[in-house]
């Protein structure tokens, strides 16, 4: 019979429920008072919000900690592209859980269904062995790692397989990312994300309508500023420049291999406006689409 090592984990907080505020879902943030802490991580746009008399404009890549027992509300309508992750939690008192019972909360209902009395405090000092100060407003040095923790939490929560100890561990790792000092970014993770963005762009080229950096970042569930940095590092150009470059490359191939009109090729490359497509093509190829086709045929 094999032996077993028994470990007792002492974590600073109990995770309750997490979610995503999708773009355009609510124009003005709800006016309410929570009975638990809520950590918000903005991914795109600016979140205009106030807690009591203090106003915040939380930028993409920043976290905001909302305190229990305090009224918070939106101060202005949110921009339609704004979205963020959120997670609610309780902090243990003197290293012990404030409540032994973890409430059953439907993720769709959100944190307003959680109840417990909390005193007001200006900052959270987590009761760990060394003590960690969690700032109310912060900008994590490696935001993509925090995104990955939220995605793991939300994925397991949706699948119904999120164990309490796993939830608390993920929450503790989120705290670590919020408070971690600046470090050199993980180049390998950045390169993987940049190539995922490149693959997404290629898959979207033929679809009509705008295709920009914000849309790519939203589709990949990552911070737009971070994606822009790792993409430029990997490809030597911005996301927008890469999108234009790939569309012109596709147009060149169609001009050479097909007899389609410029208008048809523009649509195939995701440009319903043929006039704009001609200008874009000339700026990148140095000649008009018809001139490019004529030169290629002569050769």
CATH code: domain of residue 254: 1.10.10.60
Q: Which of 135, 157, 179 is the last residue of a domain?
A: 179
Q: Is 167 in the same domain as 217?
A: no
Q: Is 157 in the same domain as 191?
A: no
Q: Which of 179, 197, 224 is the last residue of a domain?
A: 179
Q: What is the pLDDT of residue 214?
A: 85
What does the pLDDT average to over 73-102? 73
Looking at every residue in the chain, the average pLDDT score rounds to 80
H or E segment and range at residue 212 = none
Q: Which of 131, 151, 179 is the last residue of a domain?
A: 179
Higher pLDDT, 215 or 299: 215
**Number of structural domains, the chain?**
2
> Residue 100, class by beta-carbon neighbours within 10 Å (0-12 exposed, 13-18 middle, 19+ buried)?
exposed
Look at residue 77 and give its three-state secondary structure: coil
Q: Are 133 and 179 in contact (CB under 8 A)?
A: yes
Q: What is the pLDDT of residue 101?
A: 38
**Model's pTM, two decimal places?**
0.55
| Domain boundaries, position 249 | 187-298
Q: Is 141 in the same domain as 211?
A: no
What does the pLDDT average to over 38-53? 93
Q: Is 174 in the same domain as 37?
A: yes
Residues 96-137 pLDDT 10s: 333 333 433 333 344 333 333 333 333 455 544 455 678 899
Angle between helices 239-257 and 187-204 (to 10 degrees): 40
Confidence of residue 34 (pLDDT cuts 50, 70, 90): very high
Establish if 2 belongs to a structural domain. Answer: no
Q: Is 167 in the same domain as 225?
A: no
Q: Which two tokens stand for residue 214?
A: 């914000």
Residues 245-287 pLDDT 10s: 888 888 888 888 888 888 888 888 877 788 888 888 888 888 8
What pairing do the DSSP bridges indicate for beta strands 124-126 and 137-138?
A: unpaired
- Nearest of 49, 105, 108 to residue 77 by alpha carbon: 49
What does the pLDDT average to over 58-73? 93
In Å, what is the CA distance from 66 to each residue of 90, 143, 151, 173, 202?
12, 19, 21, 18, 40
């Amino acid at each position: 019979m094999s032996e077993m090592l028994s470990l007792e984990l002492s974590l600073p907080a109990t995770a309750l429920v997490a979610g995503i505020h999708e773009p355009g879902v609510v124009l003005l943030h709800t006016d309410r008072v929570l009975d638990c802490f809520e950590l918000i991580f903005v991914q795109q746009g600016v979140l205009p919000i106030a807690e009591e008399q203090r106003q915040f404009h939380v930028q993409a890549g920043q976290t905001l900690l909302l305190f229990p027992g305090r009224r918070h509300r939106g101060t202005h309508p949110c921009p339609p592209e704004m979205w963020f992750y959120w997670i609610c939690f309780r902090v243990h008192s003197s290293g012990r859980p404030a409540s032994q019972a973890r409430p059953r909360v439907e993720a769709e209902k959100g944190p307003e269904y959680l109840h417990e009395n909390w005193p007001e405090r200006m900052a959270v000092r987590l009761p760990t062995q060394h003590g960690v100060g969690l700032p109310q407003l912060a900008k994590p040095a490696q935001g993509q790692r925090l995104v990955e923790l939220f995605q793991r939490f939300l994925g397991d929560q949706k699948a119904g397989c999120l164990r309490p100890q796993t939830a608390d561990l993920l929450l503790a790792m989120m705290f670590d990312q919020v408070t971690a000092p600046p470090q050199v970014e993980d180049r390998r993770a950045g390169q993987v994300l940049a190539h995922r963005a490149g693959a997404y762009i290629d898959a979207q080229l033929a679809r009509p309508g705008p295709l920009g950096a914000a849309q790519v970042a939203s589709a990949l569930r990552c911070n737009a500023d971070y994606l822009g940095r790792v993409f430029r590092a990997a490809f030597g150009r911005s996301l927008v420049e890469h999108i234009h470059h790939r569309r012109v490359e596709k147009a060149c191939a169609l001009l050479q291999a097909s007899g389609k009109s410029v208008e048809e090729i523009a649509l195939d490359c995701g440009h319903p406006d043929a006039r704009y497509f001609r200008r874009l093509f000339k700026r990148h190829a140095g000649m008009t689409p018809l001139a490019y086709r004529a030169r290629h045929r002569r050769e």
